[in-house]
């Protein structure tokens, strides 16, 4: 089985030799996808970041594989999006089987004109490696491997951290601590915070296997297939001829027995018949749906699995964590630069708790369907499956995981619409992408031109309205051309309409006719200041 | 005379499913069957259309 894929070196920091603890504006704890994304986003905004990780390697274990369109759009802004798509396996089709019969299939991105695909599959360590390489390019980030948090002392305007290293402990101070230290968060334990929710009794076997199969690139999910009677199964392609197999084992499964390679091989052979394969990774898991009551505790801010946990059906774990990071980064940068008050951080909590609750609800519903709690619940589930080949409504009730989409924030940072807008753009949601042309005629995508700052999109109709400092103005019809009319459709754009985007590309306000005063007020509001 | 609607009518089908699954949570198969029977009567009366009811019975019997 696979061992670590990439190793990094511990290096002594001058902070370890300082007489008094050195104070840094931001310390990020945990160099997983979420901590790396947070550090890069802050670093790109010019905020100095110390990023600590207790390990010195990545690639052990089999973890996230599905990266959603929104995550890829964020990664694109962070400088690694195209690399990930090139490396990953792009897919958008899902098929659901009941027994051995296909009962339902879905297309996650039925419309064209988006730069990023609905999903790619890519081993988590490749994503982490791409983000680590990006970290290397940013001077503002100081990444320290083999730095383990052992003590934490909250103060009003900072947190004092005790860090253990191979050369002994040292003390650090953080103006803000971003806890991205995962499901078993040390930060959470040190603060003594409750992490309550629902634990599901069913056990699942994950196997990543290598095989030269030519199965189509789609997500395949079975309820009660003949090769794994009474349980569910999932198969998904990854790069390098690696396939993710996920087999439900039920609540009574013996964790030790089921992890034995000969036992796993026997189960997989039943599924794959004569196809030769080698096992890359095996693990057995049981999952939780839970979150912290609050994500912000003074100067400690929780992101990703440290703040919330869901079942894997729906790819809502790592994807939502990266979306936490992006939501927090621009806000924290604005607070540190004095452009916004600390109340802006409260909006992080509000918006991302809304997202976490959505994810937990979806994840719980999927789990209720996939792993019924009792024979009576199973009977209902099976009734849906038996009606599914015959009628539409039952097919639509089949829930093998509702896949991660970005949250539409119901947030005080948005300025309520004055008029009615159709189209797919929604207030509080990330702006839908669309094909555009640059001035010189080169084809591009809308989101490719929106670079992490407040942006006003103005649909040309005479002179553009005045924008306050800190807002970039893009005129559609001049700076960018809506050559296919798709942007106009998705934004329900009419001449003179204007759209204010937050630095995370979420739509904060829109008007049929805007003026400088309205735009300035909406921007103040999006910065957490009263209109 | 109206026809049985088999297209999805719920804007959020998962919420409908969860309502039904939570209704039977903790019940034995027998107790759930009793609940279902009452639900059938309630919903049949709500529909109030004998043709639709007959179509629904036929569909349920046809499903494997």
A469-478 confidence digits (pLDDT tens)? 999 999 999 9
The Cα A164–Cα A49 span in angstroms is 19
What is the biggest distance separating any 2 CA atoms in chain B, rounded to whole angstroms? 40
Among residues A125, A85, A160, which one has the least CA distance to residue A5? A125
Distance from CA of A385 to the nearest CA of B (A): 9
| Candidate from B9, B25, B59 with C-beta closest to A373 | B25
Q: What is the pLDDT of residue A215?
A: 87
Residues 6+ apart with CB under 8 A from A11: A144, A145
Q: Which residues of A touch B9 (CB under 8 A)?
A: 393
Q: What is the pLDDT of residue B9?
A: 97
DSSP labels for B21-50? HHHTTT--HHHHHHHHHHHHHHHHHHH--H
Locate the chain A residue with the closest alpha carbon to B8: A393
Q: What is the pLDDT of residue A214?
A: 85
Answer yes or no: are the C-beta atoms of A367 and A289 closer than 8 Å. yes
Q: What is the pLDDT of residue A3?
A: 56
* Mean pLDDT, rounded, of chain A: 94
CA dihedral A365, A369, A371, A376 (to 10 degrees): 110
Partner-chain contact B24 A376, CB within 8 Å: yes
Q: Which residues pair with A247 in a beta bridge?
A: A205, A233
Residues in chain A: 531
Residues 6+ apart with CB under 8 A from A468: A516, A519, A520, A523
SS (H, E, C) A185-240: CHHHHHCCCCCCEEECCCEEEEEEEECCCCCCCCEEEEECCHHHCCCEEEEEEECC
Among residues A455, A463, A449, which one has the least CA distance to residue A496? A463
Compute CA distances A101 → A53, A114, A224, whole Å.
46, 33, 10
* Domain extents in chain A: 6-88+119-196+292-363, 435-526
Distance from CA of B34 to the nearest CA of A (A): 11
The Cα A222–Cα A213 span in angstroms is 18
**ipTM associated with this complex:** 0.95
Q: Are strands A89-91 and A119-121 parallel, antiparallel or unpaired?
A: antiparallel
Report pLDDT digits (tens) over A385-437: 999 999 999 999 999 999 888 999 999 999 999 999 999 999 999 999 999 99
Mutate to test the interface with B, among A377, A386, A398 (most CBs of B within 10 A): A377
Partner-chain contact B17 A390, CB within 8 Å: no
DSSP labels for A316-340? -HHHHHHHHHHHHHHHHHHHHTTSS
Q: How many Cβ atoms sit within 10 Å of the Cβ of residue A13?
A: 18
Look at residue A6 and give its three-state secondary structure.
strand
Partner-chain contact A387 B59, CB within 8 Å: yes
Answer yes or no: are the C-beta atoms of A427 and A483 closer than 8 Å. no
Residues 6+ apart with CB under 8 A from A338: none
B49: left (phi over 0), alpha (psi -120 to 50) or beta: beta
Report pLDDT digits (tens) over A284-303: 988 889 999 999 999 999 99
Partner-chain contact A399 B14, CB within 8 Å: yes
Tell me: pLDDT of A61 over 70.
no
Partner-chain contact B27 A399, CB within 8 Å: no
Query: Is the overall model pTM greater than 0.90, yes or no?
Result: yes
Answer yes or no: are the C-beta atoms of A127 and A58 closer than 8 Å. no
- CB < 8 Å & 24+ apart, contacts of A521-527: A521/A415, A522/A415, A523/A454, A523/A468, A523/A470, A523/A471, A525/A412, A525/A413, A525/A414, A525/A415, A526/A413, A526/A414, A526/A415, A526/A454, A526/A500, A526/A502, A527/A334, A527/A339, A527/A340, A527/A344, A527/A413
Answer yes or no: are the C-beta atoms of A401 and A314 closer than 8 Å. yes
Tell me: pLDDT of A1 over 60.
no
Q: Which residues pair with A24 in a beta bridge?
A: A174
Q: What is the pLDDT of residue A451?
A: 86
Distance from CA of B63 to the nearest CA of A (A): 5
Answer yes or no: are the C-beta atoms of A6 and A125 closer than 8 Å. yes
Answer yes or no: are the C-beta atoms of A75 and A68 closer than 8 Å. no
| Candidate from A365, A383, A392 with C-beta closest to B8 | A392
Partner-chain contact B21 A380, CB within 8 Å: yes
Q: What is the pLDDT of residue A289?
A: 92
* Domain extents in chain B: 28-64
Residues 6+ apart with CB under 8 A from A390: B6, B59, B62, B63
Tell me: pLDDT of A63 over 90.
no
Distance from CA of A455 to the nearest CA of B (A): 34
- Segment A149-164 shows an average pLDDT of 98
Partner-chain contact B32 A380, CB within 8 Å: yes
Distance from CA of A401 to the nearest CA of B (A): 11
What is the H or E stretch that residue A261 is in? helix A261-272
Q: What is the pLDDT of residue B32?
A: 97
Helices (H), A109-180: 124-136
Which of A1-5, A48-52, A269-273, A390-394 has the weakest average pLDDT? A1-5
What is the H or E stretch that residue A24 is in? strand A22-29
The CATH architecture that domain A435-526 belongs to is 3-Layer(aba) Sandwich (3.40)
Q: How many Cβ atoms sit within 10 Å of the Cβ of residue A112?
A: 9
The Cα A343–Cα A530 span in angstroms is 11
pLDDT class of A529 with cuts at 50, 70, 90: confident
Token representation of residue A218: 């789609």
Tell me which fold the domain A6-88+119-196+292-363 belongs to: FAD/NAD(P)-binding domain (3.50.50)
- Segment A349-363 shows an average pLDDT of 96
Report pLDDT digits (tens) over A438-471: 999 999 999 999 989 999 999 999 899 999 999 9
The Cα A480–Cα A491 span in angstroms is 14
Which of A22-26, A193-197, A519-523 has the weakest average pLDDT? A193-197
Mutate to test the interface with B, among A363, A376, A402 (most CBs of B within 10 A): A376
Per-residue burial over A198-221, b = 16 or more CB atoms within 10 Å of its CB, e = otherwise: eebebbbbbbbbbeeeeeeebbbb
Q: Are strands A197-199 and A288-291 parallel, antiparallel or unpaired?
A: antiparallel
Report pLDDT digits (tens) over A326-348: 999 999 999 999 999 999 999 99
Token representation of residue A183: 């499901």
Among residues A136, A213, A172, which one has the least CA distance to residue A25? A172
Locate the chain B residue with the closest alpha carbon to A379: B29
Q: What is the pLDDT along chain B (64 residues), one digit of tens a residue?
A: 589 999 999 999 999 999 999 999 999 999 999 999 999 999 999 999 999 999 999 999 999 8
Residues in chain B: 64
Q: Which residues of B touch A369 (CB under 8 A)?
A: 17, 21
Partner-chain contact B17 A365, CB within 8 Å: yes
């Amino acid at each position: 089985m696979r061992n670590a894929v990439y190793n990094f070196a511990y290096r002594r920091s001058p902070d370890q030799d300082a007489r008094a603890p050195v104070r840094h504006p931001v310390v990020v704890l945990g160099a997983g996808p979420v901590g790396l994304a947070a550090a890069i986003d802050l670093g790109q905004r010019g905020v100095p970041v110390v990023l600590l990780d207790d390990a010195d390697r990545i690639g052990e274990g089999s973890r996230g594989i599905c990266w959603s369109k929104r995550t890829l759009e964020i990664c694109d802004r962070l400088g690694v999006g195209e690399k990930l798509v090139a490396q990953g396996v792009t897919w958008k089709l899902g098929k659901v089987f009941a027994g051995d019969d296909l009962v339902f299939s879905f297309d996650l991105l039925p419309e064209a004109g988006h730069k990023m695909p609905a999903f790619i599959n890519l081993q988590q360590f490749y994503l982490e490696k791409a983000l680590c390489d990006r970290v290397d390019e940013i001077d503002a980030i100081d990444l320290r491997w083999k730095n383990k948090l052992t003590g934490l002392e909250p103060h009003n305007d900072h947190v004092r951290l005790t860090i253990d290293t191979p050369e002994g402990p040292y003390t650090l101070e953080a103006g803000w601590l971003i806890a991205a230290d995962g499901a078993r968060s040390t930060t959470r334990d040190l603060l003594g915070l409750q992490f309550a929710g629902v634990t599901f009794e069913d056990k699942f076997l994950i196997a990543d296997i290598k095989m030269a199969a030519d199965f189509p690139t789609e997500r395949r999910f079975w309820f009660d297939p003949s090769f794994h009677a009474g349980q569910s199964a999932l198969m998904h392609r990854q790069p390098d001829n690696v396939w993710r197999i996920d087999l439900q084992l039920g609540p009574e499964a013996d964790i030790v027995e089921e992890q034995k390679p000969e036992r796993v091989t026997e189960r997989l052979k039943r599924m794959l018949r004569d196809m030769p394969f080698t096992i890359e990774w095996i693990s057995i898991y049981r999952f939780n749906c839970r979150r912290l009551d609050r994500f912000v505790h003074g100067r400690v801010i929780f992101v990703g699995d440290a703040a919330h946990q869901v079942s894997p059906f729906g790819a809502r774990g790592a994807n939502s964590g990266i979306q936490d990071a992006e939501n927090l980064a621009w806000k924290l940068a604005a607070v540190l630069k004095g452009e916004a008050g600390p109340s802006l951080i409260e909006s992080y909590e509000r918006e991302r708790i809304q997202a976490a609750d959505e994810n937990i609800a979806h994840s719980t519903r999927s789990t209720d369907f996939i792993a019924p709690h009792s024979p009576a619940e199973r009977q209902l589930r099976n009734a849906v499956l038996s009606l599914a080949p015959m009628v539409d409504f039952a097919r639509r009730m089949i829930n093998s995981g509702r896949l991660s989409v970005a949250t539409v924030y119901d947030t005080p940072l948005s300025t309520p619409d004055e008029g009615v807008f159709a189209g797919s753009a929604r207030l509080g949601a990330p702006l839908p992408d669309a094909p555009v042309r640059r001035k010189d005629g080169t084809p591009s995508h809308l989101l490719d031109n929106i670079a992490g700052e407040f942006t006003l999109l103005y649909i040309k109709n005479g002179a553009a309205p005045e924008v306050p400092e800190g807002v970039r103005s893009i005129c559609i019809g001049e700076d960018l051309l809506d050559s296919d009319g798709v942007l106009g459709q998705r934004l329900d754009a009419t001449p003179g309409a204007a759209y204010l985007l937050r630095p995370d590309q979420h739509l904060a306000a829109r008007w049929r006719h805007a003026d400088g005063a309205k735009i300035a007020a909406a921007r103040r509001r999006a910065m957490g200041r009263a209109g | 005379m109206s026809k049985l609607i088999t297209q999805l009518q719920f804007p959020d089908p998962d919420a409908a499913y969860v309502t039904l699954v939570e209704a039977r949570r903790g019940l034995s198969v027998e107790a759930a069957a009793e609940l279902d029977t009452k639900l059938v009567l309630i919903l049949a009366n709500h529909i109030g259309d004998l043709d639709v009811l007959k179509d629904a019975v036929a569909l349920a019997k046809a499903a494997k």
